[in-house]
């Protein structure tokens, strides 16, 4: 299934959800022992179970109180509206022993249709790397022209690389600590072209481990299903 020109199509939301599911089905059986993949809306970071320290949470017993039916009264001037941009994004995560180690982000048009959205999602994507989480960033939407999250991430983290026009798949592998401070970051750029098959990429799980993903195979079924829906 060659890559579509999503600037001329309206069924991306359905493809987004189905493609994430196909990526999950592809990745889960190929993960090394001890890893788990899941789809969620926010990253999860576990407390290290090897320490003797307990979470800073207080537990208190309360006396039994009579049940009271709660009521919510609306302000007479309150207006309720549906805002699509506030809908939570879905992301594919990989964890090991309860710790997030990798994420796959499928960029949607609304992630970059306004300056505020571009700034916010640049911070999210760069935040994975700052926290030591490996990232596969996939952007198949060529609009807006001359904007690239890969270029913005490079600027945000302060490193120089050639421009990375959309569409693309970019992997970021967070490596060992650098002698000069910070960490090494390995990047793999896979350009895409409308009308051409999608590439195969590797999702880094650690410095030594990765999962190979056939993006063409995972993309074909959801696009066909969404088109027929």
Burial 15-54 (b: 16+ CB within 10 A, else e): bbebbbbbbbebbeeebeeebebeeeeeeeeeeeeeeeee
In terms of DSSP H, where are the helices of the chain?
A: 12-27, 115-130, 149-157, 215-228
Tell me whether residue 100 is in a domain.
Answer: yes
The verdict on residue 54 lying in a domain is: no
User: What would the mean pLDDT of 175-201 be, rounded to a whole number?
Assistant: 91
pLDDT tens digit string along 113-163? 999 999 999 999 999 999 999 999 999 999 999 999 999 999 999 999 999
Q: Sign of the CA dihedral 133, 136, 138, 143?
A: positive
77 confidence band (pLDDT: 50, 70, 90): low
Range of the domain at 144: 6-44+83-228
In a domain, 157, yes or no: yes
| Nearest partner of 108 among 79, 87, 93, 132, judged by Cα | 87
Whether the per-residue pLDDT at 43 is higher than 90: the answer is no
Work out the number of other CB atoms within 10 angstroms of the CB of residue 116.
9
Asked if residue 64 is part of any domain, the answer here is no
108 backbone dihedrals φ, ψ, rounded to 5°: -105, 160
189 in any annotated domain:
yes
> Mean per-residue pLDDT for 203-229?
89
- The answer as to whether 141 is a domain residue is yes
- At 181, the pLDDT band (50, 70, 90 cuts) reads confident
What is the model's pLDDT at position 61?
34
Instruction: Report which DSSP code applies to 56.
Output: S
C-alpha distances in angstroms, 125 versus 116, 189, 220?
14, 16, 26
Paired strand residues for 86: none
**Whole-angstrom distance, CA of residue 175 vs CA of residue 64:** 53
Category of 216 on φ-ψ map: left (φ > 0), alpha (ψ -120 to 50) or beta? alpha
| DSSP E strand stretches across 60-132 | 91-96, 99-106
Q: Does any domain span residue 203?
A: yes
Residue 105 near residue 91, CB atoms below 8 Å: yes
Asked if pLDDT for residue 88 goes beyond 50, the answer is yes
pLDDT computed for residue 72 by the predictor: 46
The answer to whether residue 186 sits within a structural domain is: yes
**Least-confidence region, from 32-41, 61-70, 174-183:** 61-70
The H or E element that residue 184 is part of is: strand 183-191
| β-bridge partners, 203 | 211
Total structural domains within the chain? 1
Residue 194 confidence (pLDDT): 96
Helix, strand, coil % over all residues of the chain, rounded to 5: 30, 25, 45
């Amino acid at each position: 299934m060659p890559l579509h020109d999503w600037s001329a199509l309206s069924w991306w939301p359905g493809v987004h959800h189905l493609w994430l599911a196909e990526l999950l089905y592809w990745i889960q059986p190929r993960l090394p022992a001890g890893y788990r993949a899941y789809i969620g809306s926010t990253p999860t970071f576990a407390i290290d179970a090897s320490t003797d320290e307990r979470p800073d949470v207080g537990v208190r017993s309360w006396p039994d109180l009579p049940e009271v039916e709660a009521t919510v009264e609306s302000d007479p001037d309150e207006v309720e509206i549906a805002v699509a941009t506030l809908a939570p994004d879905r992301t594919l995560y990989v964890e090991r022993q309860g710790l997030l180690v990798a994420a796959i982000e499928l960029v949607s048009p609304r992630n970059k249709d306004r300056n505020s959205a571009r700034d916010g999602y640049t911070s999210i994507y760069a935040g994975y790397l700052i926290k030591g989480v490996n990232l596969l960033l996939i952007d198949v939407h060529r609009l807006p022209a001359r904007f690239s999250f890969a270029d913005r991430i490079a600027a945000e983290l302060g490193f120089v690389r050639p421009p990375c026009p959309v569409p693309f798949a970019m992997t970021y592998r967070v490596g060992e600590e650098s002698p000069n401070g910070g960490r090494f970051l390995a990047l793999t750029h896979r350009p895409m072209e409308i009308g051409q098959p999608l590439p195969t990429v590797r999702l880094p799980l650690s410095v030594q481990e990765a999962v190979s993903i056939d993006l063409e195979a995972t993309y074909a079924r959801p696009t066909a299903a969404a088109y027929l829906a």
